[in-house]
Amino acid sequence: MSTTEPTTPEQTADQKNAEQKTEGASGSPLAEQPVAAPADLVVTGVTHEAGRRTLLADVEVRFPAGSMTALSGPSGSGKTTLLSVAGGLLRPTAGSATHGAEPTWTGTGDPRPDVAFVLQVYGLVPVLSAAENVSVALRARGVAPEAADEQALAALARFGIADLGARQVEELSGGQMQRVALARGLAVGAAVLLADEPTSELDETNRGHVLAELRREADRGAVVVVATHDPAVVEACDGHVALDDGRVVLDEAAEAPQDRSTQDTSATDTPATDTPATDTDEAAPGEVPPVEGAPVPEAPAAAAEPETDDDHAAFRRPPGAP
């Protein structure tokens, strides 16, 4: 008689995300699929040492699903190291990083299939074309070669470089390579997207376009973390975590997506109130309708305000008022 262990909610979430990737091999493009089971990326008590240097010191931070979080700090503050630990590229000296209650570190240094990186150094294969670099990432997640090639071109088109698909990476400019790296990272429809300085080589127009595409990823339900030195990028994100010397010095948590969707709705949610008509010829009940051409009586003078030495009396609530 066989027995099966009960399935936990965390296991169910991981299974749903894995099933979604399998369906992408023959179904809709991975980049168009919402995250099957959104979950926060949680870093708990992480310390990371390299030789005698402490690159991260007891870092505690939560990156919410469905939100964009900026990760800022001076050069050498630990931003890239934190992204690497959070995404499973590095094993922390102490502490853990989890997504869906499962560790992101798999023991090999290879990220989980539901985690995607946009690396500061691009991480592209120089001898492959721009489209092939994107297609390889899709094929690694089980997408059939023909479908992977089609989705790769669509991913490049998201960043306005579909015409560069056949060009080898080593022939591209820095900004073009950065957009290829972005296309590759976003094409796979990951549940976690970690982008390291993704706009550093781009002009203002392309920066705005990239931020709009990253927002689309968050709207799918993905965790989106953007390491940056750019105040405009920080401003575009929902939350902000700042590092200095490997420690968190600022943690402005991103709001949950449902909280953002209810912001600034007071104007539409507040019931309309009736206001007295000012420009009308209709008489109020009990009044005599005005006669055309008749002189308009002057309004009675307003009662004089009582004198007071209190300069703020006009702003004070009268006695007995609610």
What are 75-102's pLDDT values in tens digits? 999 999 999 999 999 999 999 999 998 9
CB atoms within 10 A of CB 209: 17
As a whole number, mean pLDDT of residues 258-271 equals 46
The pLDDT value recorded for residue 95 is 98
Measured CA angle at 135 (ends 15, 28), to 5 deg: 50
pLDDT band at 72; cut points 50, 70, 90:
very high
> Per DSSP, what are the bridge partners of residue 227?
71, 196
281 — phi, psi (to 5°)? -100, 5
The pLDDT value recorded for residue 297 is 52
Domain boundaries, the chain: 38-252
Nearest Cα residue to 190 out of 61, 39, 10:
39
Task: Please identify which residue in the block is written with the tokens 């088109």.
Answer: 157
**Segments of 73-210 assigned E as strands:** 94-99, 102-103, 115-118, 192-196
The pLDDT of residue 26 is above 60: no
Tokens representing residue 191 in the block: 């549940």
Tokens representing residue 101 in the block: 């209650």
pLDDT band at 290; cut points 50, 70, 90:
low
pLDDT band at 301; cut points 50, 70, 90:
low
Q: Which amino acid is at 197?
A: E
CA distances, 166 to each of 133, 139, 146 (Å): 10, 18, 15
Q: What pLDDT, in 10s, does the model give residues 193-216?
A: 999 999 999 999 999 999 999 999
pTM over 0.85, yes/no: no
As a whole number, mean pLDDT of residues 229-239 equals 97
The pLDDT of residue 71 is above 80: yes
Tokens representing residue 53 in the block: 């240097």
Q: 38-252 belongs to which CATH class? A: alpha beta
Burial 267-305 (b: 16+ CB within 10 A, else e): eeeeeeeeeeeeeeeeeeeeeeeeeeeeeeeeeeeeeee
- In percent, the amount of the chain with pLDDT more than 90 equals 67
CA distances, 2 to each of 5, 122 (Å): 10, 49
